Chain A
Amino acid sequence: MSLFSALDRRRRTGWAFAAPGLSALAITMGFPLVYALLISVSSMTLLKPHLSPFTGFSNFMQIMSEDLFWHSLFLTVRYSVATVIGEFVVGLAIALMLQRTLKMKPVYFAILTLPMAMSPVAVALIWRMLLQPNLGIVNQMLTGMGLPAVDWLGNSSIALSTMVGIDIWQQTSFVVLLLSAGLASLPKDPYEAAEVDGATAFQQFWYITLPLLRPISAIAIIIQLINEFRTYDLIYVLTKGGPGVSTELLSFFAYKRAFQGLSLNEGNAAAFILLLIVLAITVVFFFMLERKD
């Protein structure tokens, strides 16, 4: 009996702590979210801004019947996976190297986290300037070295890769931050034991560091995946989805449908499909993490 009441009290205490935050979230984010969801199953356009009549899933059907939607979806998955892998690999390498330095660490760290402070709009404008095909400094340096100028954003087969590169340039700083924190809190004992057993540096990394870093890596990857799936500002400034449809990511597709096509309902339907995909991926990650923990 007393065990039950103690448990009950713990639960109540927990809810008391969580209540202010959760109710604030419910009001400020809940309302817009529910409203956005209602729009996606309604007949609401910018020309007829009323929710009724509700049309069920016809907006979703309409969106999914379009080739361009599937193209964007495929492109978004490719883009997000490529950027997150790139950010993670480079970020992990940097975090590991940072751990081995002492005196210079603050300097390196300060420099490597700088891109985090730039808004994506600014980053895109800057790279647009650097990569300007005729006058930009990057191509001027290439031609100066006798190499051919590269059409970074105007060639439909490399524009997406260019954007992946720019995104990695900026977002890796955040991954470095998280992984550095993770590395700093690793326990010392397993390494000492490994030294005694004569394990090589690579073995230590593979059998000790990587498994111990798994939880924080998962958090970093989840946060970045959510972030990358919603990439919009970069496309908006750099390519507007072109050349052709080679950089038309799903959030840009949704944006165009809502504001240029005036079909808020279909735009929101596309956005919610994106949400479902991110959700599914995150759930998988999340439970892999919980299960092994």
Chain B
Amino acid sequence: MRKIVSHIGLIFFCTVVLLPILWVFRTSLVPEHMSYSSQILPELTFDNYVALFTTKRFGINYLNSVLVACGSVMLALPLACTTGYAFARFKTSGAAGRFTVLATQMLPPVALALPTFMFYRTIHMTNSLPGLMLVYAALNLPFLTWILMGFFEAVPSDLEGAAMTDGANAWGAFWRIVLPVAAPGIAAAAVLGFILSWNEFLFALILGGPRTATVPVALASLQTSNGVEIAKVSAGVSLAILPLMIASRFIQRYLVQGLSFGSVK
């Protein structure tokens, strides 16, 4: 009985989530001037997708997004692992330190955009993909540190104790014992970091140049004063969801099991 109620409830919420997304997908397959028609499929066309790649350089935008998102996670993840481990196991810098790390995320991006721009300008990192990767790594670092801290707290400390009595130093214990145990959680954190970078808009806009424009910037530029090219936006959004759909199975397997947030003992 409870199961049936659950299924009904979930089907309801799935419909709420899915209907708008399906309508977006439908709009991406309809000519621009019919995008607001209430018919389900008045005409089928792939023009919007084709136009995105031919006249709008969406392929480059997509590649940029993938590179920047992957690069920033690869930069931030090792640092977040060691910092998160120190916070979890050694209580390094205490509650105040943890807090300061989180607090770097609390300022509205608007206030940070210009100072960041000037900083990156002086180190010649604007208008470049590595520069954007660095910014996203910096934005990811506090968030990932916090998430990973939870994973490491969940790893029983006896494991390291045993390794240490066998003669391993702290680094060896971390590298050989803790990391493998926490691997699913780390993978899950990587996916979250990827999503964070994948969706970021303001810094990509201010720091980027024409060759470094990412998917959100490309989508926003379809909103022109001649009107919103909503069919192309829909095509772009449909493509932008793809990586997550691919990663979804992966997220479930690792994230749901991995994100145990140690304090729950």
Cross-interface CB contact of B83 among A10, A18, A119, cutoff 8 Å: A18
Cross-interface CB contact of A180 among B134, B142, B243, B256, cutoff 8 Å: B256
Interface of B: prevailing SS:
helix
Q: Number of contacting residues on B, CB 8 A?
A: 105
Task: Tell me if B86 and A18 are in contact (CB < 8 A).
Answer: yes
Seen from chain B, the residues whose Cβ lies within 8 Å of a Cβ on chain A are 2-3, 5-7, 9-10, 13-14, 16-18, 20-21, 23-24, 27, 35-36, 38, 78-80, 82-87, 89-93, 95, 97, 99, 101-112, 114-116, 118-119, 134-135, 137-139, 141-143, 145-146, 150, 154, 170, 174, 195, 198-202, 215-216, 219-220, 222-223, 228, 230, 233-234, 236-237, 240-241, 243-245, 248-249, 251-252, 255-261, 263-265
Q: Nearest-CB distance from A133 to chain B (Å)?
A: 11
Q: Nearest-CB distance from A162 to chain B (Å)?
A: 14
Task: Tell me if A178 and B83 are in contact (CB < 8 A).
Answer: no
**Distance A116 CA – B108 CA, assembled complex (angstroms):** 20
Task: Tell me if B264 and A212 are in contact (CB < 8 A).
Answer: yes
- Contact residues in B for A54 (Cβ distance below 8 Å): none
Task: Tell me if B118 and A181 are in contact (CB < 8 A).
Answer: no
**Distance A11 CA – B161 CA, assembled complex (angstroms):** 16
A184, CB-defined interface residue at 8 Å: yes
19 contacts between A and B (CB under 8 A): A17-B92, A28-B135, A29-B139, A36-B111, A94-B13, A101-B6, A117-B198, A122-B219, A125-B230, A126-B20, A129-B36, A177-B255, A181-B256, A186-B264, A219-B261, A229-B106, A271-B108, A271-B111, A274-B108
Residue of B nearest to A227 (CB): B105
Task: Tell me if A267 and B83 are in contact (CB < 8 A).
Answer: no
Task: Tell me if B89 and A14 are in contact (CB < 8 A).
Answer: yes
How many chain A residues sit at the interface, stated as a range, is: 35 or more
A193, CB-defined interface residue at 8 Å: no
Q: Nearest-CB distance from B68 to chain A (Å)?
A: 13
A215, CB-defined interface residue at 8 Å: yes
**Distance A136 CA – B38 CA, assembled complex (angstroms):** 8
- Contact residues in A for B251 (Cβ distance below 8 Å): 113, 177
Task: Tell me if A178 and B259 are in contact (CB < 8 A).
Answer: yes
Task: Tell me if B111 and A112 are in contact (CB < 8 A).
Answer: no
- A14-B92, A17-B92, A125-B219 known; A100 vs B6 contact (CB < 8 Å): yes
- A184-B260, A219-B261, A272-B111 known; A116 vs B244 contact (CB < 8 Å): yes
Task: Tell me if A21 and B79 are in contact (CB < 8 A).
Answer: yes
A290, CB-defined interface residue at 8 Å: yes
**Distance A169 CA – B16 CA, assembled complex (angstroms):** 8
Q: Which residue among A20, A108, A119, A267 has the maximum number of chain B CB atoms within 10 Å of its CB?
A: A119
- A32-B119, A117-B244, A137-B23 known; A182 vs B91 contact (CB < 8 Å): no
Task: Tell me if A254 and B108 are in contact (CB < 8 A).
Answer: yes
Known: A113-B251, A129-B35. 13 other contacts (CB 8 A): A17-B170, A18-B86, A32-B115, A32-B119, A101-B10, A114-B21, A114-B241, A125-B237, A181-B256, A187-B265, A267-B111, A271-B111, A274-B108
Task: Tell me if B110 and A25 are in contact (CB < 8 A).
Answer: no
Seen from chain A, the residues whose Cβ lies within 8 Å of a Cβ on chain B are 10-11, 13-18, 20-22, 24-25, 28-33, 35-36, 39-40, 90, 93-94, 96-98, 100-101, 104-106, 108-122, 125-130, 132, 135-137, 140-141, 144, 169, 173, 177-178, 180-182, 184-187, 201, 212-213, 215-216, 219, 222-223, 226, 229-230, 232-233, 237, 250-251, 254-255, 258-259, 264, 267-268, 271-272, 274-275, 278-279, 282-283, 286, 290, 293
**Distance A278 CA – B5 CA, assembled complex (angstroms):** 38
Task: Tell me if A112 and B13 are in contact (CB < 8 A).
Answer: yes
Task: Tell me if A185 and B261 are in contact (CB < 8 A).
Answer: yes
Q: Nearest-CB distance from A107 to chain B (Å)?
A: 8
Task: Tell me if A25 and B141 are in contact (CB < 8 A).
Answer: yes
Task: Tell me if A114 and B261 are in contact (CB < 8 A).
Answer: no
**Distance A113 CA – B38 CA, assembled complex (angstroms):** 27
**Distance A216 CA – B17 CA, assembled complex (angstroms):** 24
Cross-interface CB contact of B90 among A14, A21, A40, A213, cutoff 8 Å: A14
Q: Nearest-CB distance from B196 to chain A (Å)?
A: 10
- Contact residues in A for B248 (Cβ distance below 8 Å): 109-110, 113-114
5 closest A-B pairs by CB: A14-B90, A21-B83, A181-B259, A117-B244, A271-B111
Residue of B nearest to A20 (CB): B79
Task: Tell me if B106 and A126 are in contact (CB < 8 A).
Answer: no
Cross-interface CB contact of B237 among A20, A113, A126, A283, cutoff 8 Å: A126
Task: Tell me if B230 and A25 are in contact (CB < 8 A).
Answer: no
**Distance A43 CA – B15 CA, assembled complex (angstroms):** 52
